């Protein structure tokens, strides 16, 4: 790992987030420009490492760009940007090849394209998912992190959390607003540092922790979306929060995902009496897109008064399960569940945000100098529902285009950003307020803004969120920042964006299902929110 002394006097590119998206950007810039990568916890934590299923690659003889685009559009329920879907599909083989070249140990098949074993997941017409057993994200992340740690022009900083973007407002410059860097909290020194940057890349992942039950890691607190929104950027499609159908239901493990690839290989969803229920909800049964499967499970749980349903893979055989799904097999066994001999208790959980900061396919946001990549961004690829395994692909493809755009952009800074001002604040004396508000926010989002919604529930949620936001803003204005406070501030901001977007959509489409508007309109458009111009605190 490099140190600050290896960074040149050129203002660095600051990448917020050390997952797949952020590391792809960093590695494709570092040969030319210095890069600082911030990870608010350890470098190994984050959603990338948790991804089990795999990454899409249009590689097989039975596959085509048109087929992948069509599957992406069908899953996205009419709101997919075809240009984005086609561009990313066309670059999928190159992205897979690059990952192979840097040493990602994908599962192999001597007869497969590029020598890779391809699996199938819900919504895909053919097998096109490259994977590393059932721990693809970890394999990809480990390979990228090893490369980044060895690069002399990349500074990896653990336990650094972005506080806010530095914009023209902070420099008191009368100009078209742009980004000049970022304020970041060094959690070891408890100091907020000023990081001037030639470009800032937000690769902070999603916002799953806004819900009580989620498959996401603790880092998924919507930091990038909230910061960009506060800086004046548009956000889009925030109402489309994907609930993964099959998260393990167990008192000791609330965030362990049971990959969709297990259903792709033939696992079946059952009621307690063993009855299959998916064929009654969709002709594609267990291979229907995630929104359909999640709503079906939610319906059956409410209909029968269940805490969970069962995912049965026993017929696949112990040898097959151990070789293809070793992580799931081992973890379930640790928890007393032998998936080769008994079904797995599963429940839907918040998994992925299809909306985010509006960007182009180079990651450029509305604010010059600011980029967003991966789950933080909205490119139009996912529409109203993400197709399985398109998320890692989007990061890999657009991480490279983002890096190329940054390298083509002038990077001189005209002035040094001002230091962080905490002269008017003090140490917090009642941090229980943060814990209480955190719990209240996540519970109300789960109860009022979940898989099935109503206008009345959304309006109640918005009212309570506004009260929480005012209390959190007051706390933020008067006390020194901590990670918990910053995460709560970002979560309440994202929660409000989700609810406001949901209230604007008067139909049911993809991941947004409203009992008050159960029909799907013949024509629909993305929900784009624009922040009113106003001054902001600190």
Q: Within a domain: residue 22?
A: no
Neighbours of 151 (CB within 10 A): 18
**What pLDDT digit, counting tens, does each position of 244-254 carry?**
899 999 988 87
Phi, psi (degrees; rounded to nearest 5) at 299:
-60, -45
Q: Which residue has the tokens 């290989």?
A: 265
Residue 330 sits at the vertex; the CA angle it makes with 324 and 334, to the nearest 5 degrees, is 160
How far apart are the C-alpha atoms of 194 and 211, rounded to whole Å? 32
Out of 350, 380, 395, a domain closes at 350
The mean per-residue pLDDT over the stretch 268-279 comes to 97
Looking only at the bridges linking them, the beta strands covering 235-236 and 199-202 are unpaired
Q: Can you read off the two tokens belonging to residue 490?
A: 């970002």
Out of 335, 350, 365, a domain closes at 350
- Annotate 511-521 with b (16+ C-beta within 10 A) or e (fewer): bbbbeebeeee
The mean per-residue pLDDT over the stretch 366-376 comes to 97
Residues 249 and 343 in one domain: yes
Neighbours of 110 (CB within 10 A): 7
State the pLDDT at residue 251: 85
Q: Within a domain: residue 284?
A: yes
Task: Give CA 331 to chain center in angstroms.
Answer: 23
How far apart are the C-alpha atoms of 283 and 288, rounded to whole Å? 8
Q: Can you read off the two tokens belonging to residue 339?
A: 């998936």
Q: Within a domain: residue 19?
A: no
Contact 1, 156 (CB under 8 A): yes
How far apart are the C-alpha atoms of 135 and 141, rounded to whole Å? 10
State the pLDDT at residue 55: 94
Q: Can you read off the two tokens belonging to residue 45?
A: 């934590």
Q: Which residue has the tokens 């501030």?
A: 489
Does the pLDDT value for residue 219 go beyond 80?
Answer: yes
Question: What is the CATH number for 303?
Answer: 3.90.700.10
Q: Within a domain: residue 292?
A: yes
**What pLDDT digit, counting tens, does each position of 431-445 carry?**
778 888 999 999 999
CA-closest candidate to residue 413, choices 3, 9, 1: 9
**What pLDDT digit, counting tens, does each position of 49-98 carry?**
877 779 999 998 899 999 999 999 999 999 999 999 999 999 999 999 99
The model's confidence at residue 302, banded by pLDDT at 50, 70 and 90, is confident
Burial of 52 (0-12, 13-18, 19+ CB in 10 A): buried
DSSP 18-65: -SHHHHHHHHHHTTTS-EEEEESS-TT-SHHHH--S-EE---STT--H
- Checking phi first, is residue 114 left (phi over 0); if not, alpha (psi -120 to 50) or beta? left
Tell me how far apart the terminal alpha carbons of the chain are, to the nearest angstrom: 33
Residue 290 appears among annotated catalytic residues = yes
Boundaries of domain holding 274 = 244-350
State the pLDDT at residue 534: 59
Q: Within a domain: residue 508?
A: yes
Q: Which residues contact 414 (CB under 8 A, 6 or more apart)?
A: none
What is the SS3 string spanning 341-399?
CCCEEEEEEEEEECCEEECCCCCECCCCCEEECHHHEECCCCCCCCCCCHHHHHHHHHH
Q: Within a domain: residue 460?
A: yes
Does the pLDDT value for residue 256 go beyond 50?
Answer: yes
How far apart are the C-alpha atoms of 243 and 228, rounded to whole Å? 24
Contact 343, 351 (CB under 8 A): no
Contact 523, 473 (CB under 8 A): no
How far apart are the C-alpha atoms of 342 and 45, rounded to whole Å? 31
Out of 290, 319, 350, a domain closes at 350
**What pLDDT digit, counting tens, does each position of 153-181 carry?**
999 999 999 999 999 888 888 888 999 99
Question: What is the CATH number for 496?
Answer: 1.20.58.100
State the pLDDT at residue 255: 76
State the total domains in the chain.
Answer: 2
Residue 479 to residues 163, 170, 186, 431, Cα–Cα distance (Å) = 14, 20, 16, 10
Does the pLDDT value for residue 502 go beyond 60?
Answer: yes
Residues 253 and 346 in one domain: yes
Q: Within a domain: residue 95?
A: no
Per cent of the chain over pLDDT 90 is 75
Does the pLDDT value for residue 226 go beyond 80?
Answer: yes
Choose the catalytic residue: 33, 120, 290, 364: 290
pTM of the model: 0.89
Q: Which residues contact 325 (CB under 8 A, 6 or more apart)?
A: 133, 134, 259, 261, 262, 313, 339
């Amino acid at each position: 790992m490099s140190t600050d002394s290896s960074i040149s006097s050129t203002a660095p590119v600051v990448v917020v987030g050390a997952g797949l998206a952020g590391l792809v950007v960093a590695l494709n810039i570092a040969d030319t420009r210095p890069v600082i990568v911030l990870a608010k916890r350890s470098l190994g934590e984050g959603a990338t490492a948790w991804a089990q299923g795999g990454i899409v690659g249009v590689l097989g003889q039975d596959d085509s760009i048109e087929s992948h685009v069509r599957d992406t559009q069908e899953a996205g329920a009419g709101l997919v940007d075809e240009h984005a879907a086609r561009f990313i599909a066309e670059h999928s083989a190159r992205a897979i090849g690059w990952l192979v070249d840097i040493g990602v140990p994908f599962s192999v098949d001597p007869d497969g394209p590029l020598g890779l074993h391809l699996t199938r997941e819900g919504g895909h017409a053919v097998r096109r998912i490259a994977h590393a057993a059932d721990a693809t994200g970890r394999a990809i992340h480990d390979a990228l992190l090893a490369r980044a740690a060895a690069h002399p022009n990349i500074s990896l900083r653990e336990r650094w959390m972005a506080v806010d973007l530095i914009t023209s407002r902070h420099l008191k410059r009368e100009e078209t607003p742009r980004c000049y860097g970022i304020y970041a909290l060094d959690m070891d020194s408890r100091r907020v540092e000023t990081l001037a940057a030639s470009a800032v890349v937000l690769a902070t992942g999603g916002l799953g922790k806004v819900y009580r039950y989620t498959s996401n890691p603790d880092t998924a607190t919507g930091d990038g979306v909230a910061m960009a929104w506060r800086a004046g950027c548009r956000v889009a499609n925030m109402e489309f929060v994907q609930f993964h159908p099959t998260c393990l239901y167990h008192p000791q493990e609330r965030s362990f995902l049971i990959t969709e690839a297990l259903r792709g290989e033939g696992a079946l969803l059952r009621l307690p009496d063993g009855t299959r229920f998916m064929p009654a909800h969709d002709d594609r049964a267990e291979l229907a897109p995630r929104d359909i499967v999640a709503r079906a499970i939610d319906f059956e749980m409410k209909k029968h008064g269940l805490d969970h349903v069962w995912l049965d893979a026993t017929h696949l055989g112990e040898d097959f399960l151990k070789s293809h799904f070793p992580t799931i097999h081992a973890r379930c066994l640790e928890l007393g569940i032998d998936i080769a001999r008994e079904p797995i208790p599963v429940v839907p959980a918040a998994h992925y945000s299809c909306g985010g900061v509006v960007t182009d396919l180079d990651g450029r946001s509305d604010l010059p100098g600011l980029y967003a990549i991966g789950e933080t961004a909205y490119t139009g690829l996912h529409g109203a529902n993400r197709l399985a395994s398109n998320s890692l692909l989007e990061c890999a493809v657009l991480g490279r285009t983002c890096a190329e755009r940054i390298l083509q952009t002038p990077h001189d800074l005209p002035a040094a950003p001002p230091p962080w001002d905490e002269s008017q604040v003090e140490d917090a004396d009642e941090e229980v307020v943060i814990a209480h508000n955190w719990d209240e926010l996540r519970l109300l989002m789960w109860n009022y803004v979940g898989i099935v919604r109503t206008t009345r529930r959304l309006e109640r949620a918005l009212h309570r969120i506004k009260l929480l936001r005012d209390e959190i803003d007051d706390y933020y204005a008067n006390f020194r920042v901590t990670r918990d406070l910053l995460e709560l501030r970002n979560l309440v901001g994202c929660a409000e964006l989700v609810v406001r977007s949901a209230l604007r959509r008067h139909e049911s489409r993809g991941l947004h299902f409203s009992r008050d508007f159960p029909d799907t309109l013949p024509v629909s458009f993305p929900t784009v929110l624009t922040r009113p111009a106003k001054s902001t605190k600190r």
